[in-house]
Structures are given as C-alpha cells and as structure tokens.
C-alpha cells in the first residue's frame, strides 16, 4: 500500500473504468475517468492543488493566508480541503443554485460560505466573481484563486490528467469527451492528448443545449458546473482565459433531461454515482461511440460524485416538480389532467409593449427577461411576471393610446409552477383555491398553464379518476 505524507499526495491517479452496461449497444469501448476518487470528491482537486502550489511558489499566498474563490461548489470544496490541510483560511462564494450538500461540505472543511444570487449579469456587483474579488481585496493575507483565468488551472491537467489517460490506455485513446466549464480540464487534458498522439485524438466537448460554448442562447440550464450561461443583461460576454476553444474539435449538445436520465442510469446500471455534468458527458460519449468502430477507444471524464446532488438529480420529488420525471402509473398527475402535452408557451420580453401582447394566445402569458434568439420555451427562473391579453384588449378598447405603453407597467405577479409529472394533490396544494393558476413546467421550462379548478376534480377522484 502506498504511504502518503499528506492527503494532498492522493490527488490524481484516478481509475479508468469501462462502461459495460450503459454502453453495451455501441461498437467502440467507452471508459470513464472517475474523478470523484480524488480526496475532495472531484476533478477540481487537481486544478485547486496546482493553483495553490503555484501561488505559494510565487509568494501570492503566504503562510497563514486566506484562500478566496467564487465557484459553483467543486473548486471551492477542493480549495477548502487544501486550506484545511495546509493551515490557510478559506472563503468561498457560491451561487444560490448550489446544492445544499455542497454548501454543507464546504462548511465541514471550515470554509466561510457566502451565498449570492446566481442569475446576475457579469457586471453586477453581487455576481459571484465580483463578490469574491471584493472579499479578497478587503481580507488581510487573502489570495483570490480565480480558476477562470488562472493558467495553473489548465496546466494541472496538462501535467496530470492527460498523461494518466495516455498511460492508462497505452496510447490507444482515440476520442476524449469532457464537459466544458472553466475550460481548464478540456484545455489541459485535451491539449496534452492531441500532442501525445500527433493530433490524432479527437476532443469532443459535452455541452448543455443552451450554453453559448456550443452556440446556444446562454439561457439557464439545470446541470451544474458545466457550460457557459449568459445573463441577458450582460454587456460584454467573456470566455474564461483557462479555456482554449481551439482544443475542442466539436461539441455534442445535450439537453437537461437527457443528462439527468443518463446520470441516473449510470448509478443504476453501472453502480457509478456521479454528478449531473457526468450525465451530460456520458450521453455525449455514447453518441460519439455509436459512430465509431471496435478499434476506437473513447474516454469520458466524470467530474464529481452524485453525493453532492442527492436533493436534485436523484430526488424523484424534485425532478417531478420541475417537469423532468413522468413516471407515476397509479397516481393522477398534472399530465393526466391536461390530457395532451402542452404546446410551448412563447414568452414576451419585458421590453415589449401592450400592443405586442394583444395577439398573444392563452389566458395568461409569461413575461421574461429580454434575450435575443431565445428558445420556444422559457426557463421559469427568467420569468419576471405575467399578463392577461384579454384584460389588455379591454384596456386598449377604452384607450387606444395605451397600446404603446411598456408591458412592464401592466405586469401581474408570476404564478407558482408545477411539474407536468407532479401528483395532482401536491400541485393543487400550492395554488390559491379562488384565483389559482400555475405554469406547467416541462424540463424546467414554462410550457403551459393549469388552474386550481382543473386540478380539483382529479384530486378528489384519486387514482380511480386517472385519465386514460
């Protein structure tokens, strides 16, 4: 057994495991680089250690100092673990969508956790990175890790992750599939594999459908620690300096539902409990492997453990509330009441006028933050209110000049939301009996409306009243 002088010596040398069941239908073998074997549970241990060692060497981080970082969780946990082992303090700023498990883990390592709003433009003073920068500036002895622009991030993967994969496969790897977040993993690992193979290894980025990395509109998605979100009010979008786009040969774009269902399959068919971004990567790897031959070899990187997401991707109730799971056979659900799957609702931007809403279909229309090139459906987190076209038509009939008024002057509060696969009794409980209307979510996006009156008969009927 190998003896280590500290836990940090155990970072890296993670196993490469063949996926035998979930990938049984594809011709090329698929191997998973299982990064949750790192001490703090994710691939970010590598980058965090590399950045800390570089900061110590340069003098930017002195003994007794404080490590500060803005992160969705994994880099923060890795830095907090390293800080605890090396005697530093740590302050970690996380967005409010970060899972409770990650926050509790950070606190367990002794980190001071600061939670800020996640869906903010890059220029906003409360944006995760701006809060972290401000805290670092006013904290004595602080060092801001800045994983997004720190060259030690990709360098850690160039010197560890890439060489490990090359050695473990005996140089046989032909395709490397990985999610792109800060870009450090794909840049460092992919860059090394391309050089080692003389340019023969193909690097495929696994990306959420709406991420701007692969051409999406930048709207929100539900898989954490991956992709590039763009707030509609961000003045100038900037990619992390850790990311070199030239390393990626192409992208596979994966929707939230496919990512989530794939990571659940990974747990139940392979016994590998991994995080949501691993589902994105494995779904992409299966697509890639399906078009290859047995002579090829696909390596897919699984960034972290599913233990940090037990209240999300592995929680059936959470998935039903957001419209990702439709699995109840003996209980009336919102889908049963609707009968047919709802057509996507086209949301109006908050910059629209009353005239723009006069021809909108439906009794209640969502109003969202303005976003160019938006999808047919809108993530519920970007809905800021609602309007009733019938009321606006009556308003304009009495005063034609009102049609030019900004729509934001006539916004109603946004109603609650229910998932399409949610049990009727749970959905009904969140609606007002007199005026209750709710958005219906499919994959976290507003795709219809339903009323308390429509739900009540099915609730009273129980399982026997289920529609067929």
CA distance 179 to 280: 7
Give pLDDT, residue 378.
85
Give pLDDT, residue 375.
53
pTM of this prediction? Answer: 0.93
Asked whether residue 151 is assigned to any structural domain, the reply reads: no
Last residue of a domain, one of 309, 336, 356: 309
Give pLDDT, residue 461.
61
Domain identity same for 100 and 66 = yes
Domain identity same for 35 and 48 = no
Give pLDDT, residue 460.
58
Domain identity same for 128 and 107 = yes
Asked whether residue 153 is assigned to any structural domain, the reply reads: no
Other Cβ atoms closer than 10 A to 118: 19
Asked whether residue 1 is assigned to any structural domain, the reply reads: no
CATH number at residue 432: 3.10.580.10
Domain identity same for 296 and 378 = no
Domain identity same for 24 and 167 = yes
Domain identity same for 21 and 116 = no
Domain identity same for 357 and 398 = yes
CATH number at residue 12: 3.40.50.1100
Query: What crossing angle do the helices spanning 44-58 and 74-86 adopt, rounded to 10°?
Result: 50
Please pick, among 33, 44, 102, 194, the residue that the annotation labels catalytic: 44
First vs last C-alpha separation in the chain: 60
pLDDT tens string 367-410:
988 876 555 568 898 899 999 999 999 999 999 999 999 998 89
Total tally of structural domains belonging to the chain = 3
Give pLDDT, residue 1.
64
CA distance 106 to 396: 55
Structure token pair of residue 275:
């995080």
Q: What is the span of the domain harbouring residue 279?
A: 7-39+158-309
Domain identity same for 335 and 441 = yes
Domain identity same for 35 and 49 = no
Asked whether residue 314 is assigned to any structural domain, the reply reads: no
SS (H, E, C) 331-371: CCEHHHHHCCCCCCCCCEECCCEHHHHCCCCCCCEEEECCC
Asked whether residue 80 is assigned to any structural domain, the reply reads: yes
Asked whether residue 93 is assigned to any structural domain, the reply reads: yes
The 8-class DSSP code of residue 285 comes to: H
Q: Taking the alpha carbons of 65, 66, 67, 68 in that order, is the dihedral positive or negative?
A: negative
Last residue of a domain, one of 268, 288, 309: 309
Asked whether residue 2 is assigned to any structural domain, the reply reads: no
Q: Is 44 a catalytic residue?
A: yes
Asked whether residue 152 is assigned to any structural domain, the reply reads: no
Last residue of a domain, one of 144, 166, 186: 144
The 8-class DSSP code of residue 371 comes to: -
Structure token pair of residue 76:
């923060």
Secondary structure (3-state) at 417 = strand
Give pLDDT, residue 459.
61
User: What are the pLDDT tens digits along the chain (468 aa)?
Assistant: 689 999 999 999 999 999 999 999 999 999 999 999 999 999 999 999 999 999 999 999 999 999 999 997 899 999 999 999 999 999 999 998 887 888 999 999 999 999 999 878 889 999 999 999 999 999 999 999 999 999 999 999 999 999 999 999 999 999 999 999 999 999 999 999 999 999 999 999 999 999 999 999 998 999 988 999 988 888 888 899 999 999 999 999 999 999 999 999 999 999 999 999 999 999 999 999 999 999 999 999 999 999 989 989 999 999 999 999 999 988 999 999 998 777 778 889 888 999 999 988 888 999 988 876 555 568 898 899 999 999 999 999 999 999 999 998 899 999 999 999 999 999 999 888 876 899 999 999 999 999 998 988 766 565 544 433
Domain identity same for 113 and 205 = no
Domain identity same for 260 and 119 = no
Give pLDDT, residue 57.
98
Domain identity same for 334 and 404 = yes
Other Cβ atoms closer than 10 A to 21: 12
């Amino acid at each position: 057994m190998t003896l280590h002088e500290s836990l940090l010596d155990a970072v890296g040398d993670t196993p490469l495991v063949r996926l035998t069941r979930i990938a049984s239908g594809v011709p090329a073998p698929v191997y998973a680089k299982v990064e949750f074997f790192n001490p703090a549970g994710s691939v970010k241990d590598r980058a965090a250690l590399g950045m800390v060692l570089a900061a110590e060497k340069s003098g930017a981080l002195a003994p007794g100092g404080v490590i500060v970082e803005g992160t969705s969780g994994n880099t923060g946990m890795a830095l907090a673990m390293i800080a605890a082992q090396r005697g530093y303090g740590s302050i970690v700023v996380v967005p409010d969508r970060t899972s409770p498990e990650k926050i509790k883990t950070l606190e367990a390592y002794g980190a001071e956790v600061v939670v800020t709003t996640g869906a903010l433009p890059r220029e906003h003073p409360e944006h995760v990175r701006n809060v972290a920068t401000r805290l670092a500036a006013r904290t004595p002895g602080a060092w801001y890790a800045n994983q997004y622009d720190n060259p030690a991030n990709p360098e850690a993967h160039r010197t560890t992750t890439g060489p490990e994969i090359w050695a473990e496969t005996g140089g046989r790897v032909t395709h490397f599939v990985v999610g792109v977040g800060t870009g450090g993993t794909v840049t460092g690992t992919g860059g090394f594999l391309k050089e080692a193979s003389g340019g023969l290894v193909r690097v495929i980025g696994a990306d959420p459908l709406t991420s701007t990395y692969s051409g999406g509109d930048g709207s929100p998605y539900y898989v954490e620690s991956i992709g590039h979100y763009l707030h509609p009010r961000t003045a100038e979008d900037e990619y992390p300096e850790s990311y070199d786009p030239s390393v990626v040969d192409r992208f596979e774009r994966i929707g939230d539902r496919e990512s989530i269902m794939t990571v659940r399959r990974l747990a139940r068919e392979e016994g590998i409990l991994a995080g949501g971004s691993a589902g994105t990567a494995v779904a992409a790897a299966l697509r890639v492997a399906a078009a290859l031959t047995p002579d090829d070899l696909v390596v897919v990187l699984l960034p972290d453990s599913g233990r940090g997401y037990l209240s999300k991707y592995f929680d059936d109730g959470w998935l039903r509330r957001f419209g990702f799971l439709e699995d109840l056979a003996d209980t009336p659900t919102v889908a049963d009441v609707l009968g047919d799957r709802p057509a996507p609702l086209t949301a109006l931007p908050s910059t629209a006028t009353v005239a723009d809403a006069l021809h909108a279909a439906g009794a209640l229309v969502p109003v969202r933050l303005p976003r160019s090139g938006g999808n047919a459906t809108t993530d519920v987190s970007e809905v800021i209110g609602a309007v009733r076209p019938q009321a606006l038509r009556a308003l304009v009939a009495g005063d034609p000049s009102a049609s030019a008024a900004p729509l934001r002057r006539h916004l109603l509060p946004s109603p609650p939301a229910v998932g399409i696969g949610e049990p009727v009794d749970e959905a009904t409980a969140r609606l007002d009996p007199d005026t209750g209307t709710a958005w219906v979510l499919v994959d976290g996006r507003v795709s219809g409306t339903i009323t308390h009156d429509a739900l009540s008969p099915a609730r009273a009927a129980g399982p026997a009243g289920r529609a067929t």
